[in-house]
Every structure is written in structure tokens, then in C-alpha cells.
Amino acid sequence: MDYHRPVPPEESRRIAQVFGALYLITFATSIPALWLYQPVLKDPAAYVAGAGHNNKILLGAFLELLLIISNIGTATVVFPLLKRVNEICAISYVTARVMECTFILVGILTMVTVVTLQRNPSAGTSATLGSIAYTLAAIKDWTFLFGPGFVVGIGNGLLLGYLMYRSELVPRPMAVLGLIAGPVLIVSGIAVMFGVAQQGGPLQGIATVPEFVWELFLGIYPLVWGFNLAAPILRGDTRPGTV
């Protein structure tokens, strides 16, 4: 994209709508998927030893595959605009989204592997299968901590917050929220990692709220109102890294 070319309003509106819709899809896929995984995450050993709810787990895995697609889409569709602000930061945001999705994919593999264990009880003793299932569930918990609980703070919080603040595509006060939410999420993730806080506990729950609000805003605002047409990068009067 030519940095000096003004972006037509219809093009900006189209990018904004797709960007916002993809962010809302991340909510519509990630939250139900986590709920569907609960039978395994609560008691992995009992899950593989019992009748199982395999369709629930597989549906959760499918939703997370859609989550991966929408996650990467939220970075790539807006990249042509954000690179006008700072190309390095824009590429870093895309990279952070891909890294987050890598952790999500590992988590998906652990869940579908538990389904395989439940479907094939003859693969080992109950104690052995239960131990393997517990290990897989623990890996899933760590992927959630490192991906949505840590990398998101860097990518969606710090990097995207900075890019949105400098670009003025959205109201700056909300972009400041992203800049605050990112470090808060990162600190809470580190606290859980070192045992200072409990994963899924009150501290981490509270620390997640600013990021939740920031990302929900990124879904609703661009979809309904579009990007700020007065933003310098849309007028084509800026160069990368100078906004």
C-alpha cells in the first residue's frame, strides 16, 4: 500500500467492519470452547474412565480452530493501515497473534488426544490413562496461560494499543485502555506462572477485565462506527513511523 495514498472511506469502512466482526468472532468461539472443555479440565482421569462427552470436546476444538482463523484475521486485515504508523510494530502485532494461535493449537491437540484416550481404553490401565489425561489437561492449562494469558497482553494490549493510539483510528482514550490492559495481563500471567496467584483465581480474573473490555470495544466500535476518517494515516499525509 502506498503510504501517501489517501484511503477511500469505503475501503476504510470495509476494513473496519471486517476487523470488528473478526474480533467479535474471537469472543463467540473462545468463551464457549473453554466451557465445553470443562469436563476434561475439571477431572481428566474421571473423563477418560467414564462415558465421556466427546462431541462437546470436539466441538470446542472446532471452535478454537475458528478462533485461530479469526485471531490471525484481526491482525492481517488491518495490517495495511497499521504499517503506515510503524511497520515494525505492525509486523510484531501479526507475529504475536500467530504465536498466540500456536499455543491455542497445542491446547487443541491436547484435548483431542484426551478424546482418543477415552475412545480407546484398552490402550493402558485406568491409572496410566488417567495420568496421561491429567498431563494433557495440565499442558492445556499452560497453553492458556502463555497464549491468551501472556502473549495477548503483548500483542493485543501493548502493540495494538500503541498502534491504535498513534494512528487515531479509534478514540485515543480507549487505546490508552489497551496500553494499560496489556501490562496488567502480563503481570497477572507472570504471577500465576510463579505461583503468586492462582490460575483462574480472583486476581487473574480482575486483571483480565481491562483486556476483555478493550477487545470487546475493538469488536463493536469499528463494526458499528468504522475507523476515524479524520485519522492522518487515512488521509495519506503521514509516513511510516512518523505519526
pLDDT digits (tens, 9 = 90+) for 20-36: 999 999 999 999 999 99
Confirm if 148 and 106 have CB atoms less than 8 A apart: no
Please write the tens of the pLDDT for every residue from 96-119: 999 999 999 999 999 999 999 998
pLDDT at 236 over 90: no
| Residue 39 maps to a domain | yes
- In-domain check, residue 24: yes
Q: Is residue 33 part of a domain?
A: yes
Report the number of distinct structural domains present in the chain.
1
Q: What share of the chain is helix, strand, coil (3-state, %, to 5)?
A: 80, 0, 20
Give the DSSP H/E element, type plus range, for residue 109: helix 87-119
Q: Is 143 exposed, middle or buried (0-12, 13-18, 19+ CB in 10 A)?
A: buried
| Nearest CA-CA partner of 156 in 211, 222, 206, 88 | 211
What is residue 123's predicted lDDT score, i.e. its pLDDT?
A: 60
pLDDT at 145: 94
Could you tell me the pLDDT band of residue 47, with boundaries at 50, 70 and 90? Answer: very high
Instruction: Report yes or no on 105 lying in a domain.
Output: yes
- How does residue 225 score in pLDDT terms, banded at 50, 70 and 90? very high
Average pLDDT over residues 122-137: 85
Mean pLDDT, the chain, whole residue set: 92
Give 32-78 as a 3 state SS string.
Answer: HHHHHCHHHHHCHHHHHHCCCCHHHHHHHHHHHHHHHHHHHHHHHCC
Whether pTM > 0.85 for this model: the answer is yes
The pLDDT of residue 3 is above 70: no
pLDDT mean over 131-159? 95
Domain that holds residue 204: 9-222
Rounded CA-CA distance 145/139 in Å is 10
- Residue 232 falls within a domain, yes or no? no
Helix then strand count (H, E) for the chain reads: 12, 0
Query: Does 32 map to a domain?
Result: yes
Does residue 173 belong to any structural domain of this protein? yes
Round to whole Å and give the CA distance between 153 and 160.
10
In the predicted structure, residue 200 carries a pLDDT above the cut 90: no
d(Cα 108, Cα 146) in Å, to the nearest integer?
14
Specify if 233 maps to a domain.
no
> Residue 13 phi/psi, 5° resolution?
-65, -40
> For the residues 204-216, what does the mean pLDDT come to?
95
Residue 7 dihedral angles phi and psi, to the nearest 5°: -90, 120
Mean pLDDT confidence for 186-200: 92
Q: Is the pLDDT of residue 149 over 50?
A: yes
